[in-house]
């Protein structure tokens, strides 16, 4: 069976850096296989641009397996494009029709400044995790085996679900306020639910929320768009858990 191909028009955001004003530029791309991924389509475009001695489009990617989250793009007004439960690299061109015009933009958030074209700086997420997204373990001498600490299965399952967050930033890009509450809530929850994470629970949530605010993310107004567009289906329940952890830590921590 012959592979189906389509001809498309791309409206892609081009911007030299964060200080220069960007704009949408139009490109015609023919004979795109519907079996190709969205990133493979962009590879095809860049090959065409290089052959035309034009500058290729800068876009981020790494694993191309839906694990790292680096491929994040805003496609036709949706984070990761017109499908659910996937990252951009898992989006296939079969989701589009021959003759379609596809708009491709970077994440839009003050906390995610544009580096170039479709690439944004998401190091704000790294700084939030560095502020408290870890468990300190004293490795001098003998350490207790992790399996020696009983964990209720329900808690273990919820912690695992929260830990599935890949930090792609779709929650921020989708939120009308540019809030990072779903991301931070997931990172707080994956430790708050486990006994290994309870030792530093108060400092963790206070430090991570403080860092989130310092990075310039917006406030959560519970619209739920973040949960809908999250490629890993991270639940709003994690935001509620983070709020409870934060309130408890605020009321009981020493001043």
For 114, other C-beta atoms within 10 Å of its C-beta total 23
Q: What is the pLDDT of residue 255?
A: 58
Task: Give residues with Cβ within 8 angstroms of 125, minimum separation 6.
Answer: 167, 169, 180, 183
Of the candidate CATH numbers 1.10.1060.10, 1.10.10.10, 3.40.50.720, 3.90.1150.10, the domain formed by 123-252 belongs to: 1.10.1060.10
Please, are residues 74 and 108 in contact by the beta-carbon 8 Å criterion? yes
Give one word for 230, left, alpha or beta, with left for phi > 0 and alpha for psi -120 to 50. Answer: beta
**Residue 146's pLDDT is what?**
67
Task: Print pLDDT tens along the chain (255 aa).
Answer: 567 999 999 999 999 998 999 999 999 999 999 999 999 999 999 999 999 999 999 999 999 999 999 999 999 999 999 999 999 999 999 999 999 999 999 999 999 999 999 999 999 999 999 999 888 876 666 666 767 788 999 999 999 999 999 999 999 999 999 999 999 999 999 999 998 899 899 999 999 999 999 999 999 999 999 999 999 999 999 999 999 999 999 999 775
Query: Strand, coil or helix: what is 13?
Result: strand
Q: For residues 51 and 160, give the distance between their C-alpha atoms in angstroms, rounded to a whole number.
A: 46
Return the pLDDT at 141: 63
Residue indicated by tokens 């991570």: 208
Cross-strand bridge partners of residue 12: 25, 104
Tell whether domain 5-115 is in CATH 3.40.630.30: no
What's the start-to-end Cα distance of the chain, in Å?
A: 70
Q: Are 232 and 80 in contact (CB under 8 A)?
A: no
Task: Provide the whole-model pTM.
Answer: 0.92
Given this model, what pLDDT does residue 147 score? 74
Q: Are 243 and 182 in contact (CB under 8 A)?
A: no
HSE toward the beta carbon, residue 33, CA cutoff 13 A: 9
Domain parsing of the chain, residue ranges: 5-115, 123-252
Strand partners, 205: none
């Amino acid at each position: 069976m012959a592979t189906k191909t389509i001809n498309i028009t791309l409206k892609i955001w081009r911007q030299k850096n964060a200080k220069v004003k960007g704009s949408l530029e139009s490109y015609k791309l023919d004979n795109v296989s519907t079996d190709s991924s969205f990133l493979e389509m962009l590879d095809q475009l860049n090959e065409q641009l290089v052959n035309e001695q034009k500058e290729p489009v800068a876009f981020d990617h790494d694993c191309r397996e839906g694990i790292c989250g680096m491929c994040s793009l805003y496609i036709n007004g949706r984070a990761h494009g017109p499908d659910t439960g996937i990252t951009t690299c898992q989006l296939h061109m079969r989701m589009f029709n021959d003759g379609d015009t596809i708009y491709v933009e970077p994440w839009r958030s003050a906390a995610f400044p544009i580096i170039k074209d479709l690439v944004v700086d998401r190091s704000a997420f790294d700084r939030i995790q560095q502020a408290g997204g870890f468990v300190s373990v004293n490795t001098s001498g003998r350490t207790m085996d992790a399996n020696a600490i009983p964990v209720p299965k329900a808690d273990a399952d919820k912690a695992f679900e929260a830990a599935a967050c890949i930090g792609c930033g779709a929650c921020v890009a989708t939120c009308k306020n540019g809030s990072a509450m779903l991301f931070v809530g997931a990172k707080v929850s994956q430790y708050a639910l486990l006994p290994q994470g309870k030792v530093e629970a108060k400092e963790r949530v206070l430090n991570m929320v403080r860092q989130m605010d310092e990075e310039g993310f917006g406030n959560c107004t519970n619209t739920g768009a973040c949960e809908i567009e999250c490629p890993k289906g991270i639940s709003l329940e994690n935001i509620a858990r983070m709020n409870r952890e934060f309130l408890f830590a605020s009321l009981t921590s020493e001043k």
